[in-house]
Amino acid sequence: MVSLNLNEISIEEVSKNFFTGMQKEWFLITAGTINRYNMMTAAWGGAGILWEQPVMYIFVRPSRYTYEFLNQNELFSLNFFPEEKRKILKLCGSKSGRNINKMEIDGLSPVSIKLLDEAIYFKEADLVFICEKIFYQDLNSTQIPNSVKNEFYSSEDYHRMYVGKILKCYRRNES
Ligand SMILES: Cc1cc2nc3c(=O)[nH]c(=O)nc-3n(C[C@H](O)[C@H](O)[C@H](O)COP(=O)(O)O)c2cc1C
């Protein structure tokens, strides 16, 4: 079922600047099924090409509840929101789904889509990518500069990188 407010677009039509769109505006990573999903705010990642396919990639620490969902499911979604949803992004970036039920957050309506597997995205997003996990790898601490380790990895919670092949892209109709 596709949300009424979002239109499917091709990758070529995506005009978002991911440098600001990720680091400054943030996004939600979602994985799971309509009966059991979780999401977290993220700011690190990117869009690119791997093995001749358009992909999105993200970095998630093993301590996140969302990490379990990413490992258990074949699909994940990236959801970018308008500024008025900032409060929700702050909530999903500061509280864990282990402690609150993120499926009950007001102001987010989940949409289920079945492709190779089920994916969940949000009706209120203005840009959505449904991705198939095609690769993951844990960041190897021996290859990280000491200055970065000191700044980001004092608890040795090294991110896992997930690369997702983009299966679908939805954008809010601007009219
Ligand atoms: C702006 C912002 C960006 C974040 N980016 C990431 C990220 O890229 N990767 C990550 O592992 N955690 C990131 N986090 C932290 C998670 O969103 C946070 O730990 C969240 O509570 C995890 O929720 P969960 O345990 O329900 O998965 C970010 C938090 C904020 C506020």
User: Residue 149 falls within a domain, yes or no?
Assistant: yes
| CATH number for the domain that contains residue 147 | 2.30.110.10
Cβ 37 vs Cβ 103: under 8 Å: yes
> What is the extent of the structural domain holding 116?
6-172
Partners of residue 7 on adjacent β-strands:
171
Of 60, 41, 38, 172, nearest to 110 by C-alpha is 38
Task: Indicate whether this model's pTM tops 0.85.
Answer: yes
User: Residue 20 falls within a domain, yes or no?
Assistant: yes
pLDDT attached to residue 175: 53
Q: How far is the CA of 148 from the centre of ligand 1 (A)?
A: 18
Q: How far is the CA of 136 from the centre of ligand 1 (A)?
A: 18
Q: Is the pLDDT of residue 174 over 70?
A: no
The dihedral built from the CA positions of residue 43, 45, 48 and 54, taken in this order, carries a sign that is negative
User: Residue 31 falls within a domain, yes or no?
Assistant: yes
pLDDT in tens, 59-114: 999 999 999 999 999 999 999 999 999 999 999 999 999 999 999 999 999 999 99
User: Residue 90 falls within a domain, yes or no?
Assistant: yes
pLDDT attached to residue 60: 98
Rg over CA atoms, the chain:
16
Average pLDDT over residues 155-168: 98
Q: 3-state class of 33 per DSSP?
A: strand
Q: Is the pLDDT of residue 155 over 80?
A: yes
User: Residue 1 falls within a domain, yes or no?
Assistant: no
Instruction: Report the domain count for the chain.
Output: 1
pLDDT in tens, 34-59: 999 999 999 999 999 999 999 999 99
User: Residue 113 falls within a domain, yes or no?
Assistant: yes
Q: How far is the CA of 165 from the centre of ligand 1 (A)?
A: 22
CB of residue 95 inside a 6 A radius of ligand 1: yes
Cβ 3 vs Cβ 171: under 8 Å: no
pLDDT attached to residue 3: 42
pLDDT band at 5 (very low <50, low <70, confident <90, very high): confident
pLDDT attached to residue 1: 42
User: Residue 27 falls within a domain, yes or no?
Assistant: yes
pLDDT attached to residue 14: 96
Average pLDDT, the chain: 96
CB of residue 163 inside a 6 A radius of ligand 1: no
Partners of residue 9 on adjacent β-strands:
none
User: Residue 41 falls within a domain, yes or no?
Assistant: yes
